[in-house]
Structure 1
Amino acid sequence: MPTGSLFPDIDIPNVDLWTFLFERKDRPYPDNKVIYLDSDTNRSYTYAQVRATALDFGKGLKANWSWKRGDVLALFAPNCIDTPPIMWGAHWAGGILSPANPGYTAAELAFQLKDAGAKALVTQLPFLETAREACKAVGIDEDRIILMGDEKDESNRFKHFSSFKNFSGTSRFRKAKIDPKKDLAFLVYSSGTTGHPKGVMLTHTNIVSNVLMNAIAGDHNLSWKGQKDDQGDKVLAFLPFFHIYGLTILCHSPLYRGWQLVVMKKFDLALFCSNIQKYAITFAYAVPPVILMLGKSPVVANYDLSSLRMVNSGAAPLTRELVEAVWKRLKIPIKQGYGLSETSPTTHTQRWEDWQTTIGSVGLLLPNQTAMYMDAEDKEVPAGQTGELWIKGPNVFLGYLNNPEGTANALTSDGYFKTGDVGHQDEKGNFYITDRVKELIKYKGFQVPPAELEGILTGHDDVDDVAVIGVYDESQATEVPRAYIVPKKGVEAGKAKEKEIVEWLGTKVASHKRLRGGIRFVDVVPKSASGKILRRLLKEEALKEEKDGAKAKL
């Protein structure tokens, strides 16, 4: 029998995100509460300012571009406090937001723009040239590119979103009518083992339900009042807003709950620590490589991090060693959660009070969901036995855009999502994730599809055949991509050639897809009779190499 949540089910209102966030009757905090604060400039948005700016932008979309229900607005930028009003303005106008990794090349961005059917793009000045190239490739006119952030285009060729308003003086524009369970709020892109990223279709109900599920069980200890200055909890945001983890947990939850979100453009350890000290940050969402730094880096000793009440880690498995190292050094509790793009994202979390007693677990199933661990024959296994995790709930996505085959493989006829992650459940209802069925490599929470890298590498003149796997790098507490390459006949395989190919690939992919695990030159790539790469054998070879290397150091 499927396992239900130990938390009581909650009511999920059948409303769109705008109604949920801006027309609620139970908001516990005032209009002038500062919700989003830029850590570099101290520029900020109160609740009232977010709402007004989003409304202006939404009306601007309708007035300037005749925005229609279902139109897709792409976002290509690092973290910025302008992101929330832009996305909710798009929702007000009936649009769908599709955020893209600002590390993408023009070709990678163009694929997402074309697949999503984007009608326009919002970016920042430093990313404008890549944005222009991608838009040109897919036929999006330059007048459909607008800017966000503090830098503006001095030539005035590209408008800033803040000046993109309804200047017609009419009040004829009304909020779009939305079917929360069917209409999409977001198209986020999750890499698949077949190479190209897949558009994950998330509805308004998916996100509304996940915000409420987290408010009840995940971040329920956080408050808009209290703490030392009675200003409530202050959460530090460096996780990317284009990723579902940051999109739901960092953009939506603070506005719903009334916390202050201190926004960083990207992660930097010294800045991370400095901001905790400067703003008296009380909570942070992180990933295991950051937990590793907190436990080991000498930089941390230069700062006072005592304001932190708790840190939540997600996006990749967290080891007991990392949790205990941080507790021993800093006395900061670390809890863990679990989720996926397809589940909006959070499905499980450790309760605050359980962080020490259930280290290694991803915690309890959040409300309104059921879950099963299944064997290779799609039969449920009993508690304690290992299987693939399947999940059902209001947070589970509709399917993959333009990909019926992928959707059919991921979703059962009765609504269960096959996560591709392997683990088990203990007798107390705690869930554990121990491995992955899928072949995706997870580098610091980012998904790297081996087939995509293999496809690019086979285009190199000196590569005859190639296989890519993920190998664990203990120094970074993350998997890194490594290529096993059969060189063309006559090519000298050595350090110089490895460096050349690594750098060559680095010019063609986003930063997180680079071959940080290096290259191993081999005589043959192991394959099955049907031609499928036997990655398991390569992983065994990598483990043997690691063990032999460790022995050699002794």
Structure 2
Amino acid sequence: MPRQVPRIEIPHTDIWTVLFEREDKPFPDSQVIYQCPTTGRNYTYASLKRTTELFGTGLRSHWKWQKGDVLALFAQNCIDTPAVTWGCHWAGGVVSPANPAYTARELGHHLRDSGARALFTQKNLLGTALKAASEAGMPRERIVLIGDDRDRGVRHVTEILGERLEGSRTKLDPGSDLAFLVYSSGTTGLPKGVMLTHLNVVSNLFMVNSSEGALLQWNKDKILSVLPYYHIYGLQCLVHLPAYAGLTTIVMSSFDLKNFCAIIQDNHITYTYVAPPIILHLAKSPIISNYDLSSLRMITSGAAPLAKDLIHAVKNRLGTEVKQAYGLSETSPVTHIQKAWNHGMGSNGPALPNQVVKFMSPDGQEVPTGKEGELWIKGPNVFLGYLNNIEATKACKTEDGFFKTGDIGYEDEDGNMYITDRVKELIKYKGFQVAPAELEGILASHELVNDVAVIGIQDHSQATEVPLAFVAPKEGVERSEANGKLIVDWLAERVAGHKRLRGGVRWIDEVPKSASGKIPRRILKDLLAKEGGVVKAKL
């Protein structure tokens, strides 16, 4: 039988109401929620609420914003992101975050697929934003800057704010109206829009808070925001949770190890959410020894599995506890969190409340405790479906509401979950999803390439998977390291940074195919393992 986990009460309401109309708020309106470590500029709870209202008013007056209109957000982490997000929600809109590492081609797809009416970005990303918007048919006057830098050619978010609050907040149906369109890589090509309702996000916020709320106190803890806000992991744990729990979060625009350490030291950070590569730095980098990180008592790591030896290394070196979590864009995202770092070590902990979790065999039968199977999850946090993609939605959601995660794992007797493999072909580079088929489609157009297959290989020096391409060259092409590097560099100019061929190019006579034309990637991984994992033309 599926494991039934504890239940908590979840309000049937929208995100803005949960955050700004609650009667049980334990912290004062003057509490600082988001702060920039370089300028000192911040949002208190009161100024955050007021800005969301004025921004929502401004969207209506400038562009006649309607319920369901999509606002695309193409930016690095910024303290303006929460106000823009919830101001859009106040006006009934949907927010669609985009990876700031996107090329114009990738961002253009995002804008077209989401149907975005406006694009909010930053000055350092403006060139890409303008090109993508032009290709997507979005007028220049719909591009707006956030952050401290301005450009005379486009408007700044402060010019969109209404002078005073006008009208009332748009009424929403939490269970059917979308709050976010986040994009998740599919195995067959370009990213798909994951439709998350207000109830999905509110449910997961309460589920996460049921665990993390017992560990964090608004008047004692400070969080460091380093995970990207465009990613659902950062969006939930570092945007929504601090505003609900009243936690001050210091916002890094992007990860830099020295800045990361300096901010922890100077601001007495006590808690942060990260991906495994940062844990690797904390365990092994000599830079760490130059800083006092003694305030950092706990870390939650997610987005990819974490080795036990790294957990012990960080605890021994810094005294900091590291626990793990699991989630997906389609589950809003967090489904499992360890309760304590040394309970179920190596696992993702038990399932959060209000979910039904089961592990299924390839023939559709539930497997017993301790046996591996595909993880299926049902709960109020499970997404509505993929935008404009009924077939993909049907393929991963059962008629009775279970989401087939594509991850293989098992539970122990205490309910702790261990992920051991993936059914899906996605590569996870530092928590970011990379679709092999997308890279193959681009690489196939290269003049040196006759056929190609992309797989993920583990790079232990970075504690992550990296993409590697098996290339069958065109006749007469020399199988040299120089030609391999040409292919690697050529692709790097056409895709976001996390999609680059950091595993390099491996020459092959012929890419294996099944009778149906599919690439059996396991065969290629086994081939590489037999050869000792030797990779040629590394980036």
The two structures have a TM-score, normalised by structure 2, of 0.98
Report the number of matched residues: 535
Could you tell me which residue of structure 2 aligns to residue 78 of structure 1? 76
* Contact preservation (8 Å) 2:57, 2:166: no
Deviation by residue 1:460-510 (Cα, 9 ceiling, x = unmatched): 011000000000000000000000000110111111101111000000000
Choose from 430, 435, 440 the match for 1:449: 435
Tell me how far apart the structure 2 counterparts of residues 224 and 160 of structure 1 sit (CA, whole Å). Answer: 32
What secondary structure is seen at the aligned counterpart in 1 of 2:477?
A: coil
Amino acid at match of 2:157: F
2:245 to 257, 264, 279: 257
- Kindly indicate whether residue 206 of structure 2 is the aligned counterpart of residue 216 of structure 1: no
- Which residue of 325, 328, 336 maps to 1:348? 336
- Alpha-carbon separation, structure 1, partners of 2:196 and 2:384: 6
Whether 1:507 aligns to 2:493 is yes
Residue 185 (structure 1) aligned with residue 179 (structure 2): yes
Query: Please, which moves more after superposition, 33-42 or 444-453?
Result: 33-42
Task: Tell me the percent identity.
Answer: 57
Offset at 1:173?
Answer: 2.3
Paired residue for 1:158?
154
Q: Determine if the alignment matches structure 1 residue 96 to structure 2 residue 94.
A: yes
Distance (Å, rounded) in 1 between the aligned partners of 2:484 and 2:526: 22
1:485 aligns with 2:471: yes
Q: 1:484 to 1:508 in 2, by over 3 A?
A: same
Extract unaligned runs of 5+ from structure 1: 226-231, 550-554
Q: How does 1:114-513 map to 2 (within 5 A)?
A: 114-153=112-151, 155=152, 157-166=153-162, 172-225=166-219, 232-352=220-340, 355-513=341-499
Q: CA deviation at 1:4?
A: 1.4
Q: Is the 8 A contact 1:218 1:350 kept in 2?
A: no
Maintained 8 Å contact 2:528/2:534: no
- For the residue of structure 2 that corresponds to 1:381, the secondary structure is coil
Q: Say if 1:458 and 1:464, in contact at 8 Å, map to a contact too.
A: yes
Distance 2:238 2:531 in 1: 40
For residue 34 of structure 2, the aligned residue among 33, 36, 51 is 36
Question: 1:280 and 1:428 mapped to 2: Cα distance?
Answer: 35
* Matched AA of 1:493: R
Distance 1:546 1:322 in 2: 24
Q: Which residue of 1 aligns with 2:109?
A: 111
CA deviation vs aligned residue, 1:240-279 (integer Å, no higher than 9, x gap): 0000000111000000001111000111111111111000
Map of 1:16 onto structure 2: 14
One-letter amino acid of the counterpart of residue 448, structure 2: D
Tell me how far apart the structure 1 counterparts of residues 349 and 366 of structure 2 sit (CA, whole Å): 20
Output one character per residue of 1:166-197: Cα deviation in whole Å (capped at 9) or x when no partner. Answer: 35x7x652211100010000000000001110
Query: Is this contact kept in 2: 1:284–1:310, CA < 8 A?
Result: yes
Q: Distance in 1 between matches of 2:200 and 2:400?
A: 17
Deviations 1:78-136 (A, max 9, x none): 00000000000000000000000011011100101111110110000111111111111
Q: Does the Cα contact within 8 Å between 2:224 and 2:250 map onto a contact in 1? A: yes
Q: How far apart are residue 357 of structure 1 and its match?
A: 3.4
Select 1:523's aligned residue among 509, 519, 522.
Answer: 509
Could you say what secondary structure the match of 1:304 adopts? coil
Cα distance in 2 between the residues matched to 1:545 and 1:28:
59
The Cα of 1:387 is off from its aligned counterpart by 0.1
Distance 2:368 2:53 in 1: 51
Structure 1 contact 63–165 (Cα < 8 Å) conserved: no
Deviation at 1:220, TM superposition (A): 2.3
The offset of 1:545, in angstroms, is 2.7
1:2 match: 2
Deviation at 1:329, TM superposition (A): 1.4
CA distance in 1 between counterparts of 2:496 and 2:528 reads 24
CA distance in 2, matches of 1:166, 1:331: 48
CA distance in structure 1 between the aligned counterparts of 2:18 and 2:368, rounded to whole angstroms:
39
CA contact (8 A) 1:62 1:173 kept: no
Secondary structure of the structure 1 residue equivalent to 2:67: coil
- Give, in angstroms, the shift of residue 218 of structure 1: 3.4
Equivalent residue letter for 1:166: G
Measure how far apart 1:548 and its partner are: 7.5
SS in 2 for 1:292: helix
Q: 1:547 to 1:246 in 2, by over 3 A?
A: closer
Counterparts of 1:48 and 1:548, CA distance in 2: 57
In the aligned structure 1, how far is the partner of 2:36 from the partner of 2:338?
29
Tell whether the 8 Å contact from 2:297 to 2:319 is kept in structure 1 after alignment: no
Q: Which moved more, 1:446-455 or 1:317-326?
A: 317-326
**452-461 or 320-329, which moves further after superposition?**
320-329
Q: State the alpha-carbon separation in 2 of the partners of residues 325 and 479 from structure 1.
A: 21
Letter in 2 for 1:375: S
- Tell me how far apart the structure 1 counterparts of residues 534 and 480 of structure 2 sit (CA, whole Å): 20
Distance 2:426 2:533 in 1: 23
Cα distance, 1:449 vs structure 2:
0.1
Unaligned runs of 5+ in 2: none
C-alpha deviation, 1:546, in angstroms: 2.8
CA distance in 2, matches of 1:270, 1:425: 38
